[in-house]
Chains A and B, each alone.
Chain A
Amino acid sequence: MAFRDVIRLITSIGRIAEPAPPRPEVMADRPPELAGTVQIRHVDAGSCNGCEIEIANAFGPVYDLERYGARLVASPRHADVVLVTGVVTHNMREPLLRTVDATPRPRLVIAMGDCARNCGVFADAYGVAGAVRDVVDVDLEIPGCPPEPDAIVRAVRSVTGR
C-alpha cells in the first residue's frame, strides 16, 4: 500500500476508540508504586484462547486499554502485574510459579476468566492442577467466560486509577 493510501485510510477512518467510561473505583490495598501505570505480563496457564481474544480486543483500537496506563510486556522482569488466563494445567504449574516469582515486588496477580477463578468447565479434568488461587496468591479476579473487554478494562483501570 502506498504511503499516501495509508494516510488517506487513517484520515478517512479517524479515531475509533470508544469514549472513556467513568473511572472505576481504585481496588482496595493497591500498592502505591503501581499508581498511574502498570506493565502486564500475560500467562496462558491452560486457556481455551477465548480469554486471549478478549485481551487482544481490550488492547485493540476500540477499547484501547493503553490509554489508561497499561501495557503488555514480554518478560516478568519488566512487569508489575501477572495476568493469568485459563485453568492451571499440570505442565503450566511450575512455569506459572516461576513467572510470578520472577516479577518484582510489589506485584499483583489477576486471575482472568471463570476457568482461572474456579476451573470453569474444566473442573475435575485429568490434566488440571487447579484454579489459579490454588497455585499462587490472587489479588484481583475478572469473572466471565470469556470476560468482555469492558470488564478487563474496568479491572485494569481499578489498578492504574486512570
Chain B
Amino acid sequence: MTDTGVRIQLALLALAVVVALLAPVHRRALLSGLVVAGIGIAGVLTGWLALTGHAGRLTIPVALPFGPVTLSPAPLGGFFMLVIGAVGAVCAVYSVGYVHGPAASRTSWVALAVFLTAMQLVAASADVVAFLLAWELMALSSTVLVLTEHAHRATVRSATLWYAAMTQLSFFLVLLGFAVLSAEAGSTQFADLAASHVDSAASNLAFVALLLGFAAKAGIVPLHVWLPRAHPEAPSHVSALMSAAMVKLGVYGAVLVTTQLLVSASTWRSLLVLGVGTLSAVYGILQASVASDIKRLLAFSTTENIGLMFLAIGASSLLRPYGSTDVADTALVACLLLVMAHAAFKTTLFLGAGSILRATGERDLDLLGGLVSRMPVTSATFGIGALGAAALPLTAGFVAEWVLLQSLIHGGGTQNRILAITMPVAVGAVALTAGLALMTFVKAYGIAFLARPRSEGASQAQESPTSMRVGLVVAAASVLGLGLVPGLSVSVASRALGLGDAAAAGSGGIDLVGLGATLHPGPLLLLALVLVVPVVVVSVAAARRRPRRDVDLAWGSGGVRVSPRMQYTATSYAEPLSRIFDDSLRPERDVVVTHSSEARYLVERIQYRQRLSDVFESRLYLPVIGVIERVGAAAKNLQNGKINFYLAYSFVAFLVVLMVVTL
C-alpha cells in the first residue's frame, strides 16, 4: 500500500514540475501551490498507512554499484512523513498568497516541490543509498530556496554560503557514518544493519559521525550556526518548511541510529546525546530571548526545541539499560510529541512572521508594534503559536514538555549514581528552558503586536490575503487540537515506536504506563475556564457599566509629546536577561554621551549601541575559517597561471604514481 503512496508522490512531483514550468504567470502560484499541497497530503496519507502497519516496497533499479534504491516507509519513517506532509501542505497553501518576486519564479516552485518530496523520500528510505540520495537532494533544493532573494539583499548570499557549507558537512558526516556501518555489516539495507553486530571501534566511529551529521542538520549547538542566518534570509514559507520539517529529519536520523541501527548500552553515547541536547536547549533559548530580529528569534527557538528532542533521546537510551523500559519508552514518546508540537507551532510562528514581513517590510521587533488591530487573524494565530512555543497548557507544547518532564522525574532515583545526577540536572535544564521560552514569546508577541506602531511600515500594515490566512488558521488550530486531545498524538507516537496504544487513555487523555501519571483534557479545560471566565465576566461587566472615555493624547508629562520611541522595545525587554547571562552571551555595549557645548553637566544626547554575537561563531568558527583562508591563500601560489609550472606538476605527479606502483 505505502509503495502506491510513494508512487503517487513521485507522480505529483513530476506534475508539479510541469505545472511550475508551463503554467501562465498569473495562475502559476495557485496551480503550483495546489499541486505541492497535494504532495504534502499524499505524504500524510502514506505516513498514516505506514503507521497503521501497512507495508509496501518500491524498488527503483539504478546504475549504482550498491544495488537498487529501496523506498519502504517503516512506522517511524511514516510518522515523520505524516508530520512533514502536513507542514508541507499548510506551507504550500500559505505560499499561494505569500509568494511574490523571485519566490514566485519557476525555479522556486520547482525547488519547493523537489524539496518537499525529497524530505518525504528521506523518511521513506529503507536503505543507505536511497537515504543519502534523498538527503542530498533535500540539501540542494533547500539551498536553492534559501538563495531565492539573493538579488535583493547581499546578506542572502553569505547566509546561503553558511547554509551550503554546513549542510554539505552534514551530508559528508552522514555518508562517512553509513559507509563505516555498511562496510562492517556488508549490506546497505537498514534491516540488515539493524540485525548485524558491529565491533566497537567501527561502531563508535559510525555513531559519532552519524550523530554529528544529524546534529548539523538538526541545528544542535555548536553546529547550529546556519539556522540564525538561513532562516531570516529565506522566504517565510521556506523558513517554516525548513524549521518545522527539515530539521526534524536530523531528529529522525538520531532516533533511527539510537533505537535501531546502533543500539548499545554504552553510557557515554547516551550522555553525549543528552549533553548536546541540554546545551542546545539552554543556549538556543538564551540567544532567542535576547534576539530582536523575529526570524532569528524563531531560528534560535528551533535550536532550543531540537535540543529538547535530543535530550529526550539521550535520556531514553541512558535509562533503557537500567531496566526502566517504561520510562525510557516514555522519553522517546516525549521526543516524538515534541516533534509534532514543534512542527505545529513553529509552522504557525514562521508563517505569522511571514505575514508580518509581507505587511510591514520589517523583521526587526523594535520597528513593529500595534499590529493587533491591523492584522487580527495574524495576531490571533501568532499568539496561539507563541502559547505553544512557551509550552502553556491547552497547547501541543505543554503536552510534549509534560510527558518529557514526567519521564525525566521518574527516571531519576538512587539506585544508580549516573541517573541520580543526570536526571535532576536535565529536569533543571528543561525548567530553565521553559521559563526563558515564556519570556521570549511574551516579548515576541507583546512587542510585535501590542502598543503603538514603531515605524511607518508597521502603522500601514494590512491583513494578509485569504490563502495565507487559511494556512495560518489551520496551523494554529493544530497547535490547539494536539493540546486539547493529547491522547491522539500520544497514540500516533507510540505506534511509530512500535509500542502499541499503551499510553493513550480513553477520551483523548494520556495514561503513562508504569509512571502512574495521567493527563486528561477535561480537568485542563476546567482549570482554564475557572481562570478565564471570571476575568472575562468582570472585564465585560466593567466595560458595560462605564463606557470607555476617549483620550486625545497619551500622557508623557507636560514637557514632551509621547512618541512611539518611548515604548518598551524588544531590546529593553531583554536587557535584564542579557545582563544576567552576561558571561555566556558576551554582548558588546557601547555608550556614547555627548555633552552640551555650554556646560559639561548638561547632556545633549546619549547613544546606546548593543551588539549580540554568537559565542560559538566568534570563538570556534571564525578561527577555523581564518586557518582555511590562510591555507587557501598559500595554495594560490601553486596555481599561478604559468603553463610551465603546470607541466612540471603533471610530470612530478606522473613520477610519484610510477614510484608508488612499482613499490
Contacts and interface: CB of A to CB of B under 8 A. Distances in A.
Contacts of A99: 558
A105 B553 contact: no
B559 to A, nearest CB: 7
26 contacts: A33-B549, A75-B555, A76-B555, A77-B551, A77-B555, A94-B558, A95-B558, A95-B559, A96-B558, A98-B553, A98-B555, A98-B556, A98-B561, A99-B558, A101-B551, A101-B553, A102-B552, A102-B553, A102-B555, A103-B551, A104-B549, A104-B551, A105-B549, A105-B551, A105-B552, A106-B549
Which 10 residue pairs across A and B have the least CB separation, nearest first?
A: A95-B558, A104-B549, A101-B553, A102-B555, A101-B552, A102-B553, A77-B555, A104-B551, A105-B550, A98-B558
Interface in A65-97: 75-77, 94-96
Nearest to B552: A101
B602 interface: no
B357 to A, nearest CB: 35
B554 interface: yes
A12 B334 CA distance: 74
Given A98-B556, A101-B551, 12 more contacts: A33-B549, A77-B551, A94-B558, A98-B555, A101-B553, A102-B551, A102-B553, A104-B549, A104-B550, A104-B551, A105-B552, A106-B549
A98 B554 CA distance: 9
Nearest to B549: A104
Contacts of A76: 555
Nearest to B559: A95
Nearest to A99: B558
Nearest to B551: A104
A102 B558 CA distance: 9
Nearest to A98: B558
A106 B555 CA distance: 16
Interface band, chain A: 10 to 19
A33 B549 CA distance: 10
A102 B557 CA distance: 9
Interface string A96-133: 10110111111000000000000000000000000000
Interface of A: 33, 75-77, 94-96, 98-99, 101-106
A102 to B, nearest CB: 4
A98 B556 CA distance: 9
Contacts of A102: 551-555
Interface string B547-589: 0011111111011010000000000000000000000000000
A43 B552 CA distance: 18
Interface in B528-558: 549-556, 558
B285 to A, nearest CB: 37
Nearest to B560: A98
A27 B555 CA distance: 28
A101 B556 CA distance: 11
Contacts of A98: 553, 555-556, 558, 561
A152 B561 CA distance: 31
Most buried by B among A76, A102, A106: A102
A155 to B, nearest CB: 22
A104 B554 CA distance: 10
A26 B223 CA distance: 76
Contacts of B549: 33, 104-106
Most buried by A among B551, B559, B561: B551
A158 to B, nearest CB: 21
Contacts of B556: 98
Contacts of B551: 77, 101-105
A89 to B, nearest CB: 13
B158 to A, nearest CB: 48
Nearest to B553: A101
Nearest to B547: A33
Contacts of B554: 102
A55 B171 CA distance: 81
Contacts of A33: 549
Interface in B318-374: none
B566 to A, nearest CB: 14
B243 to A, nearest CB: 43
Contacts of A75: 555
Contacts of A77: 551, 555
Contacts of A96: 558
A127 B552 CA distance: 28
A101 B558 CA distance: 10
A38 B554 CA distance: 20
A101 B554 CA distance: 8
A92 to B, nearest CB: 8
A84 to B, nearest CB: 12
Contacts of B558: 94-96, 98-99
A104 B553 CA distance: 9
B480 to A, nearest CB: 37
Contacts of A106: 549
Contacts of B552: 101-102, 105
B622 to A, nearest CB: 51
Nearest to B550: A105
A138 to B, nearest CB: 17
A77 B555 CA distance: 7
B417 to A, nearest CB: 61
B421 to A, nearest CB: 55
A43 B549 CA distance: 21
Nearest to B554: A102
A33 B548 CA distance: 11
Nearest to A43: B558
B452 to A, nearest CB: 15
Nearest to A80: B549
A102 B549 CA distance: 11
A103 B550 CA distance: 9
B62 to A, nearest CB: 74
Contacts of B555: 75-77, 98, 102
Most buried by A among B549, B556, B561: B549
A147 B554 CA distance: 32
A76 B561 CA distance: 14
B440 to A, nearest CB: 31
Interface in B12-43: none
Nearest to A94: B558
B545 to A, nearest CB: 12
A53 B556 CA distance: 27
Nearest to A104: B549
A105 B555 CA distance: 14
Contacts of B559: 95
B159 to A, nearest CB: 46
Nearest to B548: A104
A52 B48 CA distance: 80
A95 B550 CA distance: 19
A95 B553 CA distance: 12
A136 B384 CA distance: 46
A106 B551 CA distance: 9
B591 to A, nearest CB: 30
A99 B560 CA distance: 11
A77 B550 CA distance: 11
A110 B132 CA distance: 82
B236 to A, nearest CB: 39
A11 B249 CA distance: 82
B321 to A, nearest CB: 65
B542 to A, nearest CB: 15
A106 B552 CA distance: 11
A80 to B, nearest CB: 9
